[in-house]
A and B are shown apart, each in its own frame.
Chain A
Amino acid sequence: QKEVEQNSGPLSVPEGAIASLNCTYSDRGSQSFFWYRQYSGKSPELIMSIYSNGDKEDGRFTAQLNKASQYVSLLIRDSQPSDSATYLCAVNIFWNTGANSKLTFGKGITLSVRP
């Protein structure tokens, strides 16, 4: 069973702090990794993608990938109350013969940013 695991939450941080969200995956052949944000009652929205080892920064968000250790993380700097949401990690995992890949999602972690 190919899996994507996110550390249990919920996670609560004060406004202005750094929020660190982690995700591990089981398939060493995975090539691409995504972070989705989902506000309560809304649909998932893609906020970050990363394909190679290292860091990728976009505004207050930084995605980090370590393929050797099979983990991907999302850092949110200067956290704001508007960042309060559930964050889903998604990994492309090859199914069956390996000819096709699909995204497999973690269960998500809920972040709460306290004013």
Chain B
Amino acid sequence: NAGVTQTPKFQVLKTGQSMTLQCAQDMNHNSMYWYRQDPGMGLRLIYYSASEGTTDKGEVPNGYNVSRLNKREFSLRLESAAPSQTSVYFCASSARQEFLYGYTFGSGTRLTVV
């Protein structure tokens, strides 16, 4: 049972480059989320998808776009990477009643923008 799978695990980008972070879950969860985690800032929500076909902005969406490709997959795209986007990115998913079961997190992507 893989749970939530993120790729890649590590990435170094040059300023201005673009890339897509991939996330897939095999738990038949409806909702999926992208967070970034920075020292002293905690987990901050970038975008979320409450169900297949819908996406909404979170707390820090600027500089990012997302695609909910199907029920399993939710990708995060950086169109023009900036050093301020250096962070650890976590994808998470939850069943419809997330208030009962919480979120399951992927293993994270450590991104460095130079």
Contacts and interface: CB of A to CB of B under 8 A. Distances in A.
Looking at chain A's contact residues, is the secondary structure mostly helix, strand, loop, or mixed?
A: strand
B11 to A, nearest CB: 16
Looking at chain B's contact residues, is the secondary structure mostly helix, strand, loop, or mixed?
A: mixed
A40 to B, nearest CB: 11
Contacts of B99: 31-32, 92, 101
B105 A43 contact: yes
Contacts of A88: 42-43
Interface centre among B33, B41, B102, B108 (most CB of A within 10 A): B102
Interface residues of A, number: 22
Nearest to B40: A107
B90 interface: yes
A100 interface: yes
Contacts of B101: 49
Given A31-B99, A43-B90, A100 B42 contact: no
A103 B102 contact: yes
> Size band of the B side of the interface?
20 to 34
A43 B108 contact: yes
B102 A49 contact: yes
Contact of A102 (B40, B98, B108): B98
Interface string B44-69: 01001010000000000000000000
B7 interface: no
Interface of A: 31-32, 34, 36, 42-46, 49, 51, 88, 90, 92, 100-103, 105-108
